[in-house]
Structure 1
Amino acid sequence: MQSENPFVADFVKMMNSAAGTFAGMGREARDSMRERIKELMGDMDFVSREEFDAVKEMAATARAECEALKTRLDAIEANTPARD
């Protein structure tokens, strides 16, 4: 037969409350740290992978167009008599 000791019952209740409090504190600390990291990353002007890939593609296209124009200009200059 199990007897109910008020001291033990109160102690168990207190430990359950403390466990819940510590779990809540852990969640709060994790969420707070996550928000601070987001703010820090935002202040550092990082770009997303999608933005980086889009700019990289634009640069490759511009480089290809520049090479094509250079080749075209070289051909035009080759066909033009030199001025002295």
Structure 2
Amino acid sequence: MTQTTSRIFDDFARLMNDAAGVATGVRREAETVMRAQAERVLRELDVVTREEFDTVKDLAAAAREENEKLEARLAALEARLAKLETPE
């Protein structure tokens, strides 16, 4: 009787082990399918990639910096012009 009980437990343990392996495989497959579906949806929505976003962000920062320099230069030139136009 003990050998039969032991064999039943061994078979049950093997079955649970196999079930865990199958569950892991199903989980991986589901993740793959969901990831592919999400990528397809994002492509259809024409969402920018992180690299494109970072590039445009850097360009905007550079343009903002250049704009600030030009504003300062314009203010200095306007001040010089105002001095020249002021009668003494």
CA displacement 1:3-49 (0-9 Å, x = unmatched): 235xx83x654443332122111122223333444551783114447
Computed over aligned residues only, the root mean square deviation of the Cα atoms, in angstroms, reads 3.6
Greater share of helix residues, 1 or 2? 2
The sequence identity of aligned pairs, in percent, is 27
The correspondence of residues 1-84 of structure 1 with structure 2, limited to 5 A, is 1-3=2-4, 4=7, 9=11, 13-38=14-39, 40=42, 43-48=46-51, 50-51=54-55, 53-81=57-85
TM-score normalized by the length of structure 1? 0.54
Q: Which runs of 5+ in 1 are unaligned?
A: none
**Could you tell me how far apart the structure 2 residues matched to 1:61 and 1:71 are?**
16
| 1:46–1:14 distance in 2 versus 1, CA, 3 Å | same
TM-score normalized by the length of structure 2? 0.53
| Equivalent residue pairs, number | 79
Q: Which runs of 5+ in 2 are unaligned?
A: none
